[in-house]
Structure formats: C-alpha cells, structure tokens
C-alpha cells in the first residue's frame, strides 16, 4: 500500500521546469496518467530527456510513446536536509537514478518509502498529481 498517495502536493507547481514545445508531451502524459518517452522511428531507441534528434543515430524521427517505465535503482541518495519547504513533509526522502527498462535513466524522487532501497531494486512509476493540469513522476518499489 502506498501511504503517500494521501499527501497533498499543492504548491509543487512552482517547482516545475519551464515546459517547452519539446517537453510538453512528457508533461501532458503525466497529467493523463502515462509515462511517455521519445522513440526514434529510425533505430527504435527510447530517449530521455527530449531532443529534436536521436542521441543514438542522429535521425530527426522522434515521436512520443507510452511506456511502462519500470526499472531498477541505478544509484540513489537519501536527503536529510530540508532544501525546500515543500519537501519538509517527506523527510527524509530518497532521490534515485532509475535505469528504465526502455533504456533511459530517469532522475526521480522516491517519497514515503516504507524501508530503505538498495541499488538494483525493482521500481515502478508513481505519478503524483499536483492539480488538474500538472503531475510529476516519482518512483516506488515494485513490492511496496
Ligand atoms: Zn535513432
């Protein structure tokens, strides 16, 4: 059971990056409950962050696709310092680099963990809703 889902993410909108035409599909996907990555039509590589061309082959043939987004913990830190007031309710929290099964690595907060994670642990996306238009991607352990 994911106890963090009852928490309020009001105010987190101020932490969002500038959303550009290039990144809009990623954020739209999260708002619709989907994890989306760019996929190259020429070589099939998934990529993140978004770019107008493929990092693997250089083709300008990128489109957005829905993905499962699961993966493994590649690296992580546990944050004990309150760097921003909005994270105070989540202390301490984990910031992980997730090796997605689709290929890209995703930097992600892991909030409300029931027990410490370890490198190699299986994780899955947990989309956090801020308001009617915005949501952000976090990860949780597969077995939590
Ligand atoms: Zn490619």
Domain ranges in the chain are: 2-7+23-141
Token pair 């105070």 in the structure block, residue:
88
Q: Distance between CA atoms of 6 and 12, rounded to whole angstroms?
A: 15
Q: Distance between CA atoms of 133 and 116, rounded to whole angstroms?
A: 32
Q: Distance between CA atoms of 137 and 95, rounded to whole angstroms?
A: 12
Q: What is the pLDDT of residues 105-115, one digit of tens each?
A: 999 999 989 89
Strand-pair category, 62-67 with 71-79: unpaired
Residue 91 is predicted with a pLDDT of 93
Q: How far, in Å, from the CA of 49 to the mean position of ligand 1?
A: 14
pLDDT over 60 at 3, yes or no: no
Q: Can you tell me the mean pLDDT for 36-57?
A: 98
Q: What is the pLDDT of residues 114-131, one digit of tens each?
A: 899 999 999 999 999 998
Q: Distance between CA atoms of 139 and 94, rounded to whole angstroms?
A: 10
Residue 4 is predicted with a pLDDT of 44
Q: How far, in Å, from the CA of 140 to the mean position of ligand 1?
A: 30
Please indicate whether residue 144 or residue 48 has the higher confidence score (pLDDT).
Answer: 48
pTM here is 0.91
Q: How far, in Å, from the CA of 32 to the mean position of ligand 1?
A: 26
User: What mean pLDDT, rounded, does the chain reach?
Assistant: 92
Q: How far, in Å, from the CA of 96 to the mean position of ligand 1?
A: 26
Helix extents (H) in the chain: 24-31
Q: How far, in Å, from the CA of 53 to the mean position of ligand 1?
A: 8
């Amino acid at each position: 059971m994911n106890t963090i889902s009852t928490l309020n993410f009001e105010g987190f909108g101020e932490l969002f990056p500038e959303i550009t035409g290039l990144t809009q599909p990623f954020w739209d996907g999260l708002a619709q409950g989907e994890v989306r990555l760019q996929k190259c039509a020429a070589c099939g590589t998934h990529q993140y962050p978004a770019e107008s061309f493929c990092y693997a082959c250089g083709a300008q043939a990128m489109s957005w696709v829905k993905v499962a987004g699961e993966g493994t913990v590649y690296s992580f830190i546990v944050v004990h310092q309150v760097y921003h007031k909005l994270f105070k309710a989540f202390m301490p929290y984990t910031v992980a680099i997730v090796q997605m099964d689709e290929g890209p690595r995703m930097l992600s907060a892991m909030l409300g963990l029931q027990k410490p994670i370890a490198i190699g642990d299986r994780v899955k996306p947990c989309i956090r809703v801020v308001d009617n238009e915005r949501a952000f991607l976090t990860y949780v352990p597969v077995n939590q």
